Structure 1
Amino acid sequence: MSTYVSKEMRAELNAARIASLKKASRLRVEVDGTYYRVLRMWKDGFTVEVDSTPPLRGLVDLYDGANHLYQCLIVAAEEEAGEMRYEFKRNTMAADKAPLDFYRSPDAPIALLGKRD
């Protein structure tokens, strides 16, 4: 039995696989104000579609919908089956406020109210 698949059939199968990954993923990467769909993500990196995404490099931001997840320093790893794989050099979780440089007591007041004359 032969397992040969023509180039056209392989391209159609890859296009269908990438379309289903794009539909299922909410993740996106932002570079210079432009967003690109992330197909898959794991601990050490992520993949994007080769045809619709220019080569990425350097500092990027990863989002899940509108939620900013990570600020990442990335490097291109390899292209395989219509996907470009990127690996993290640095992956820092994004925070919505600046970190404190002191201990804040859980029962500390939120604000102080002044006397009203």
Structure 2
Amino acid sequence: MTTYLPREVREGLEAAHRLALRRKNRLRVVVGDQVFPILRLRDHGMVVPADGAPRLRGLVDVYDGGRHLWQCLIVASAQDGQEMQYEFKRQTAAETLPALDFELPDTRPAGLLPRV
């Protein structure tokens, strides 16, 4: 059995694989007003398609659909074919509530009941 594939078949398979990754993945990185899809997350970084993304550097926001996940400080590490790899220098979880300047007591009320 041979493992050789013609160049056209190999390129077609790679293009189909990239398209499938883009369709099923909702992760995206936002830089200012530019949005780039994230192909996959790694332990300390992410992989973005190289064709549309410049060599990003600095503070970016990572979203899963409409949910803000992280604010990250990134640097481009390597380009591997059609994929650009970025490393996280800092990865901070996005908070939905503002930071408090005081400690909340454990005995605070859980809610208010309306008057009947």
TM-score (ref. length: structure 1): 0.82
Residue 43 of structure 1 corresponds to which residue in structure 2?
43
Distance in 1 separating the partners of 2:3 and 2:81: 17
Distance in 1 separating the partners of 2:87 and 2:10: 26
Distance in 2 separating the partners of 1:78 and 1:3: 28
Residue range with higher mean Cα deviation, 61-70 or 37-46? 37-46
Residues 1-117 of structure 1 mapped to structure 2, 5 A cutoff: 2-109=2-109
Distance in 1 separating the partners of 2:69 and 2:40: 15
Distance in 2 separating the partners of 1:73 and 1:4: 41
Q: Which runs of 5+ in 1 are unaligned?
A: 112-117
The C-alpha deviation readout for 1:20-65, integer Å capped at 9, x for no partner, is 1101101000011111111101221111111122221111000001
Q: Which runs of 5+ in 2 are unaligned?
A: 112-116
- SS at the partner of 2:39? strand
Residue range with higher mean Cα deviation, 40-49 or 86-95? 40-49
The C-alpha deviation readout for 1:46-98, integer Å capped at 9, x for no partner, is 11111122221111000001111000010111112311111100000011122
Aligned length: 111
Identity %: 45
The alpha-carbon deviation at position 110 of structure 1 amounts to 7.9
TM-score (ref. length: structure 2): 0.83
Query: 2:88 corresponds to which letter in structure 1?
Result: F
- SS at the partner of 1:11? helix
RMSD over aligned CA atoms reads 2.0
